């Protein structure tokens, strides 16, 4: 990997991934030191997007292992292709020494590659995304150690397979459970928070270019206010902000009004209680006033308690 930090940032932005300096430097070091990157943060802040954008930036394949409760080695690493093995036994019946046949049956060609093995056996360096690692159990996490530190896997019938090219590994976690020290030690750590107001505006400009400038600013201010001032079960994610903006464009809206917010509420607040909280505590008219208030920056005392480190312009 001979990219400079600046080139990496430019390539990520070409992929439509807007990132700040901290993220780029961390990603750069993860590539340079060939260490996996562990990305934590709330759902919807763009953790998975890091891997997708990185694959695009490096012009390589993204191999994704979606984690879930009960995920085991067979699903993650490899399985033997029993159908093909049985077929081979049928064909070879009576014409072949049993010992030779057995050696033959457990050859690489009878392996069904699952994401981890596929990433290790790829001829070209790939990006391996291990998504939502916190959903698996500690045993599976421990099983990953060999892969993450030595980039090799052991298959009883074949021995140890070493990576042809060390993949760029990105693990994501929503923080549902505390990950082991062993896993953290093998990774470079990155925490992604909800974007600042400026960053969200840039994301919307890049991802929904057809939206009018004023609408983009209003949506970003609205979401920013909702996240920082309301006690919600699920704060709107970046993906939901994008969906909302696209919906507003589809409805030919060029500004937020209480009516249009009411009609499109379910695009960014996907929880009945959260919708009620917004209506009760701020009101749709109140939200529009807040957005306009933020524009003229008449700093209300409430904003001083905003804990997101946002700069309000």
Q: Is pLDDT at 138 greater than 70 in this prediction?
A: yes
Residue 17 — very low, low, confident or very high, per pLDDT cuts 50/70/90?
very high
**What is the structure's pLDDT at 88?**
84
DSSP helix/strand/coil, 198? helix
Nearest to 223 by CA among 189, 185, 261: 261
Give the number of other CB atoms < 10 A from CB of residue 99: 8
Counting other chains too, the contacts that 11-16 makes at CB distance below 8 Å and 24 or more residues apart are 11/56, 11/57, 11/58, 12/53, 12/54, 12/57, 13/206, 14/56, 14/57, 15/52, 15/53, 15/56, 15/57, 16/53, 16/206, 16/207
Residue where the block lists tokens 């917004």: 278
Mean pLDDT score across all residues of the chain? 88
Q: Is pLDDT at 13 greater than 50 in this prediction?
A: yes
- In terms of C-beta density within 10 A (0-12 exposed, 13-18 middle, 19 or more buried), how is residue 63 classed? buried
Q: Is pLDDT at 308 greater than 50 in this prediction?
A: no
> pLDDT of 34-72, one tens digit each?
999 999 998 889 899 999 999 999 999 999 999 999 998
CA distance 229 to 227: 6
**What is the structure's pLDDT at 11?**
95
**What is the structure's pLDDT at 272?**
94
- How far is residue 133 from each of residues 43, 125, 218, 280, 304, measured CA to CA in Å? 13, 22, 35, 37, 36
Residue 161 — very low, low, confident or very high, per pLDDT cuts 50/70/90?
confident
Asked if CATH classification 3.40.50.300 holds for the domain at 5-77+114-191, the reply, yes or no, is: yes
Higher-confidence residue of 303 and 158: namely 158
Distance of CA 250 to the CA centre of its chain: 27
> pLDDT of 188-229, one tens digit each?
999 999 999 999 999 999 999 999 999 999 999 999 999 999
Q: What six digits make up the tokens of 241?
A: 């902000």
Q: Which residues contact 273 (CB under 8 A, 6 or more apart)?
A: 233
Higher-confidence residue of 304 and 196: namely 196
Q: Is pLDDT at 99 greater than 80 in this prediction?
A: no
Higher-confidence residue of 211 and 108: namely 211
**What is the structure's pLDDT at 87?**
87
Sign of the Cα torsion 213, 216, 218, 221 reads negative
Q: Which residues contact 6 (CB under 8 A, 6 or more apart)?
A: none
Residue 73 — very low, low, confident or very high, per pLDDT cuts 50/70/90?
confident
Residue 299 — very low, low, confident or very high, per pLDDT cuts 50/70/90?
very low
CA distance 302 to 146: 50
Is the Cβ–Cβ distance between 249 and 281 less than 8 Å?
Answer: no
CA distance 3 to 14: 15
Full-model pTM: 0.82
> pLDDT of 247-262, one tens digit each?
999 999 989 999 999 9
Nearest to 77 by CA among 123, 115, 110, 121: 115
Q: Is pLDDT at 170 greater than 50 in this prediction?
A: yes
**What is the structure's pLDDT at 39?**
96
Q: Which helix (H) or strand (E) covers residue 288, if one does?
A: helix 284-296
Q: Is pLDDT at 104 greater than 80 in this prediction?
A: no
Q: How far apart are the first and last CA of the chain?
A: 38
Q: Which residues contact 203 (CB under 8 A, 6 or more apart)?
A: 18, 195, 238, 241, 242
CA distance 296 to 293: 5
Is the Cβ–Cβ distance between 204 and 245 less than 8 Å?
Answer: yes
Higher-confidence residue of 266 and 309: namely 266
- The mean pLDDT value for 88-117 works out to 81
Nearest to 278 by CA among 220, 216, 214, 234: 234
**What is the structure's pLDDT at 313?**
42
Domains of the chain by residue range: 5-77+114-191, 82-109, 197-304
**What is the structure's pLDDT at 297?**
53
- How far is residue 118 from each of residues 51, 75, 181, 262, measured CA to CA in Å? 16, 12, 27, 47
């Amino acid at each position: 990997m001979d990219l400079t930090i600046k080139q990496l940032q430019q390539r990520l932005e070409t992929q439509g991934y807007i990132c700040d300096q901290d993220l780029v430097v961390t990603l750069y070091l993860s590539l340079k030191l060939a260490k996996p990157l562990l990305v934590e943060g709330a759902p919807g802040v763009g953790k998975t997007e890091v891997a997708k954008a990185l694959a695009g930036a490096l012009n390589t394949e993204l191999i994704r292992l979606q984690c879930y409760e009960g995920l085991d080695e067979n699903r993650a690493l490899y399985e033997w292709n029993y159908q093909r093995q049985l077929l081979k036994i049928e064909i070879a019946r009576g014409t072949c020494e049993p010992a030779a046949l057995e050696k033959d049956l457990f050859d690489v060609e009878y392996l069904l590659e699952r994401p981890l093995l596929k990433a290790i056996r790829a001829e070209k360096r790939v990006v391996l995304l291990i998504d939502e690692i916190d959903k698996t159990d500690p045993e599976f996490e421990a099983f990953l150690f060999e892969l993450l530190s030595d980039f090799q896997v052991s298959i009883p019938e074949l021995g140890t397979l070493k990576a042809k090219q060390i993949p760029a590994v990105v693990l994501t976690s929503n923080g549902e459970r505390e990950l082991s020290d062993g896993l953290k030690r093998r990774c470079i750590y990155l925490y992604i928070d909800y974007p600042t107001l400026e960053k969200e505006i840039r994301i919307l400009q890049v991802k929904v270019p057809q939206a009018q400038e004023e609408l983009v600013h209003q949506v970003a201010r609205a979401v920013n206010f909702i996240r920082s001032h309301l006690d919600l079960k699920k704060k709107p994610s970046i993906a939901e902000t994008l969906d909302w903006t696209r919906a507003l464009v589809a409805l030919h809206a060029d500004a937020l009004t209480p009516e249009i917010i009411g009609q499109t509420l379910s695009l960014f607040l996907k929880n009945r209680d959260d919708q009620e909280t917004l209506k009760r505590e701020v009101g749709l008219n109140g939200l529009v006033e807040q957005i306009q208030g933020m524009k003229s920056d008449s700093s209300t005392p409430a904003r001083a308690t905003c804990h997101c480190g946002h700069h309000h312009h």
